[in-house]
């Protein structure tokens, strides 16, 4: 068994952002993105164990925010079903 850890900031990628393009699954028209740490985790080309911990400080506040976001997205999805896309409008007419 081999164990690797990140202990030095110099070992991290030079570019850091919420997501990076993953060319293998991207096309000219569609960009497929992955998290900036994916090459050091999920995209390793060997068998490995990936651990991720999510810490929620204030559960009630977090649940309130998630419920608010769910309701907003749900109302937007209902609105988008009522309004056909411009392409569909051209096909219909």
Per-residue model confidence as pLDDT tens digits over 12-58: 666 666 777 888 888 888 888 888 777 777 777 888 777 777 888 89
Tokens (6 digits) for 25 = 């699954």
DSSP three-state, residue 39: helix
Q: For the full predicted model, state whether its pTM sits above 0.85.
A: no
Tokens (6 digits) for 85 = 């896309």
Contact between 36 and 16 under an 8 Å Cβ cutoff? The reply is yes
Per-residue model confidence as pLDDT tens digits over 62-93: 999 999 999 988 888 776 666 655 555 555 54
Token pair 């309130």: residue: 64
């Amino acid at each position: 068994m081999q164990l690797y850890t990140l202990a030095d900031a110099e070992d991290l990628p030079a570019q850091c952002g919420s997501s990076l393009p993953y060319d293998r699954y991207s096309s000219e028209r569609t960009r497929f993105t992955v998290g900036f740490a994916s090459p050091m985790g999920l995209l390793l080309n060997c068998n490995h164990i990936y651990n991720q911990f999510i810490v929620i400080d204030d559960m009630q506040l977090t649940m309130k925010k998630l419920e608010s976001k769910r309701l907003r997205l749900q109302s937007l999805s209902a609105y988008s079903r009522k309004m056909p896309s411009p392409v569909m409008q051209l096909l219909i007419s």
